[in-house]
Structure 1
Amino acid sequence: MTISRRQVLTGGAAAGVGLTVAGALPTLAEPAAAAAGNNGNGNDVKAATGRPFPPLQDDPKGILALPAGFSYTIVTREGETEMSGGQGKTPAYHDGTGVVGSTKNNLTIIQNHELTPHMSTYGVPHIEGTVYDPGAENAGGCTVILTDRSGRPIEEWVGIAGTVRNCAGGVTPWGTWLTCEETFINAGATWSANGHTGTYQKNHGYVFEVLPNDSKYQLPKPIKAFGRFEHEALAVEPNGKHVYISEDASGPNGLFYRWSNTENIKLQSGLANRLDETVGKLEAMQIRLDDGSVLPDVAYLTSAQLGRPFKVSWIEVPDRDAVTKTTRTQFADGQVTRGKKFEGVWSTSKGCYIVNSFAFGANDLPADATKHDGMVWFYNYADETITLVTYFPHNPAAETEGASPKYADLTFDGPDNVTVTPWGTLVLAEDGVRASHVLSSVPGGPTYAIARNMLSIGTSNGSPTYSEFTGPTFSPDGKVLFVNIQAPGITLAITGPWEKYLG
């Protein structure tokens, strides 16, 4: 099906809510259904208005710029902090992270490490009881981290190893972590890196469950029911009826999926043993326009459609294990709604937030669609509608320029991971081309910088470049925001008067 941007813009958008986005600071409009939600830890929350954060102050240590009144603690750092039981140094490339447990004294965090074999000196070591694919040496996986209630580190150990490019994932209602492989590799494929070579012994591109238990009590087994593709992140519907999964892939652009629990199986710890590989249905999203046609790509929607719900339908993936064709290529144009870089996903009691990072490259979007520097959506579980709730208009400078110190905290792009705060607002981690920020996105209000990465990892066009932020996640009481710098891999616990600005 061929559809023009003009058709989308004139196809009833005026009947919805149109919010103007001015300058480099977009606004976020929370749909009514999301005004009361869940912070991912079972606590009901109310929508907040928030207050502007104070200007960021440079860190004398050159790591993290923060507003006055806020401070950070380093929880783990690749190659420096030690894991318990002689398991070695903290692995590199920290990515998706979730707080999965909370006691009177401690917090339990599970963290992804987005690595391919021997990509770094500090891959996830193959510890007995944690290994999925022995052929994926010194590659990705997850670590389990224990801190005190203020985020100060206590210990860390391996949760899963022998997986590849563990990007993001999601916290489950029963207190575990579902980690997603952002890759598609067949058993028998070879790899070579940094003087090492090897052969994958198993297929990759799956979701795995990581338990908050010791290494020897883990379950390194893929949940094949959730499909095989370049998974990014996911959200479990609180009632257990559906799991929503994003795909960060191109050629063609990725899809947004829903696994439906058609047999009403109780979802709980040990999911890989509870779900047969063919149980339920894996479906791809179709955003419907007023005439019933399928929107072919999310990039046709712009700030003109902010706050306007679109109906969603779902179409079953014929071959979820992608034996002959990748899942996203099993659909013809016009059958599904695609998007460049479907990224972070986070559940509330009413729905889930979904991020598209950007689309401005030559092959990122249809020729007549609109370039953008980021989108955030809200999918309503009950209504089966999706609403654009924040929009970052494209700044052409993002394609060619590095960070400008003068404007570093005023130009945002490339939202990636997302979390919902205990007050109902959002925190976004940037993976853009300018300065890298942690952002506060306020429903019905502006987006503020709440942290900036000061660790330069190189230059581009004479300007410094910075690694992305990943894995924002709050402690249930809202006192600690955990966030990662991906390279060099550092986990930070940020404390301060959060409620004053988010509540």
Structure 2
Amino acid sequence: MTAERKQEAAGTAGSGGAEAPDRSGAPSATRRQVLAGTGAAVAGIAFTGAFSELFAGTAAARGHRGYGPLVPDPRGLLDLPKGFRYRVLSREGEPLRSGEGPVPGRHDGMTALPGRRGRIHLVRNHENRHSAGLGVPAVDGLTYDPAAKGGCTALTLDGRNNVLDERVAIAGTAVNCAGGPTPWGTWLTCEETEDKAGTNGYTKDHGFVFEVDGADPRRTGAVPLTALGRFQHEAVAVDPRRGIVYETEDAFDRPFGLFYRFLPEKPLGGTGSLRAGGRLEAMRVPGVPDLSAIQETGARFDGVEWVPVPDPQARQTPVRLQDFGPKGITHAQKLEGCYWGGSSVYFVCSFARSTDGSAADHFGQVWRYEPERRRLTLVVVFGPATDVRLPGESPDNICLAPGGGLMVCEDGNGAQHVYGLTKRGEVYPMARNRQNLGTPEEPEWGEFAGVTFSPDGGTMYVNCYTPGTTFAVTGPWH
């Protein structure tokens, strides 16, 4: 993650004209350059694969080529295409409207849930650990472990994106990275850690998923959904027809994370149903111990198996290290974004490095799993190119745009963008972070995270990780 420093900036709206060069005047070295093993001064990312599959169940982005070049923001916060405007909804360090303390930092995953009378509930993760960063204030009845500083805050907006309320939604959790919305209108926030009680001062075990009700957080409280497993959770996606929860694991060392599914005892039962228990299983692709070894788009694997997790609570051994039998289990480095589209679940492997222990190098993959066919397909691969207009780093948070297409948050070094991807495989810039955390000579920008859309599709919400800033972006969406 980027360094945690805050730049003060004023203003709540931006508009634009022609695209400006980066402040540094020269591109910075990035992770993809190391992976490519070249001395190239500039490297980009290209997409190859079956783009149309990414948008199953949505309107296709027919003829859509983006919104034009990004326009420099005179306030130095967010560059957008001409005709688009932003509003700053919240910034770290400002007082929460509830009076519970300051707005926490490290803004990460987020969702926009519909409320009554046209209101919108934004539920936002804060990826704080036991000490680093401006933590989530502890609130009675909403705090799991007082020694942990992560959690979620919830913003209530009216139909014009005016902030009506902002309060703590859950506290005392750790490293809340991503998550996913449920079909019954709540948010599942994920702890990206395996720390147990007694580690780093924690008083309780961590590595769980928690359910958060954005409209009334006390309905869900601070109760870990232990049956969904204890591991380094990243994101989740819920099958809206069967209620099965798919989960990614972003483990930082070998053997890397697994892709899971949770079969609840009470599927689609609404708030609290996931507390009723169920069965946790891990994906096994026969003959494929490491997904990074697969390099060809369109590669398809039928007969995917789901193996029961021996000890979902990882009491003695992390789940990915447990004994899954003589056939083993399938691992992957940097399992991150996860979403449901049409009749399939999609998940992202942000990158893989052979120097870290992966079977092969790649710059990002998007996989599609079809439950009815038990089929896994590699649908998109990110790769090196020389076109700097293409996404410049590995994909992280992703979401489907209501009008068709995919939004991808960039996570890496150098300039940071939100990119759009059309059904035809065309890539366009949607936003660029201009909050310079460094100096004019050595600039540094925080990553984007938590991109999501309002229920009516008229507003894109997105976070800057640091300094923690939440934006509402409106304009002539296709």
- TM category, shorter: 0.7 to 0.9
2:110 to 66, 90, 97: 97
1:437 CA displacement:
1.0
1:357 equivalent in structure 2: 350
Is the 2:113–2:455 contact (alpha carbons within 8 Å) kept by the matching residues of 1? no
Flag the 1:313–1:207 CA change in 2: closer, same or farther, 3 A: same
1:134 counterpart = 2:146: yes
Deviations 1:93-143 (A, max 9, x none): 0001001224443211111000012312x210011110111232xx00001
Question: Within 2, Cα distance between the matches of 1:322 and 1:394?
Answer: 38
SS at match of 1:112: strand
Structure 2: runs of 5+ lacking an equivalent? 1-42
8 Å CA contact 1:31, 1:378 repeated in 2 = no
Alignment of 1:52-451 (within 5 A): 52-80=66-94, 82-120=95-133, 122-136=134-148, 139-189=149-199, 191=200, 199-249=201-251, 250-261=253-264, 263-271=265-273, 274-276=275-277, 280-287=278-285, 293-302=286-295, 305-311=296-302, 312-331=304-323, 335-360=328-353, 362-366=355-359, 369=360, 371-394=361-384, 409-451=389-431
Q: What is the match of residue 25 of structure 1?
A: 46
CA contact (8 A) 1:294 1:336 kept: no
Q: Is the 8 A contact 2:184 2:268 kept in 1?
A: no
AA aligned to 1:352 is: V
Distance 2:379 2:159 in 1: 32
Displacement of 1:284:
1.2
Amino acid at match of 2:162: R
SS of corresponding position for 1:358? coil
Q: Deviations over 1:309-336 (max 9, x none)?
A: 3222211111110011100111479622
Structure 1 residue 202: deviation in Å? 0.8
Aligned length: 432
User: How big is each residue's C-alpha offset from its partner over 1:216-242, in whole Å with a ceiling of 9 and x where there is no partner?
Assistant: 444201001100000000011112341
2:39 corresponds in structure 1 to: none
Give the AA of the match of 1:321. Q
* Range moving further from structure 2, 45-54 or 240-249: 45-54
Structure 2 residue aligned with 1:290: none
Kindly indicate whether the alpha-carbon contact (under 8 Å) linking 1:152 and 1:493 is maintained by their aligned counterparts in 2. Answer: no
Shift in alpha-carbon separation, 1:24–1:229, aligned structure 2, 3 A = closer
Q: TM-score, normalised by structure 1?
A: 0.81
448, 471, 477: which is aligned to 1:492?
A: 471
- What amino acid maps onto 1:78 in structure 2? E
Q: Distance in 1 between matches of 2:162 and 2:393?
A: 31
1:60 maps to amino acid: P
The whole-number CA distance in structure 1 between the counterparts of 2:77 and 2:242 is 40
Q: Partner residue of 2:38?
A: none
Any conservation in 2 of the 1:128–1:216 contact (CA below 8 Å)?
no
**Matches of 1:492 and 1:174, distance apart in 2:** 25
Task: Give the fraction of aligned pairs with identical amino acids, expressed as a percent.
Answer: 42
Residues 159-189 of structure 1 deviation map (CA, whole Å, 9 limit, x = unaligned) = 1000000000000000000000000111122
| CA distance in 2 between partners of 1:25 and 1:459 (Å) | 30
Change beyond 3 A, Cα 1:143–1:61 = same
Q: Which runs of 5+ in 1 are unaligned?
A: 1-21, 38-44, 192-198, 288-292, 398-406
Does the 8 Å CA contact 1:159/1:218 hold for their aligned counterparts?
no
CA distance, structure 2, for counterparts of residue 129 and residue 360 of structure 1: 43
Moved more, 51-60 or 308-317: 308-317
Deviation at 1:353, TM superposition (A): 2.1
Give 1:151 deviation, angstroms.
2.7
- Partner Cα separation in structure 1 for residue 223 and residue 320 of structure 2: 24
Q: Does the 8 A contact of 1:209 with 1:271 survive in 2? A: no
Deviation at 1:48?
A: 2.6
Superposition TM-score, scaled by structure 2 size: 0.85
* Whole-Å separation in 1 of the counterparts to 2:300 and 2:126: 35
SS at 1:328's partner residue?
Answer: helix
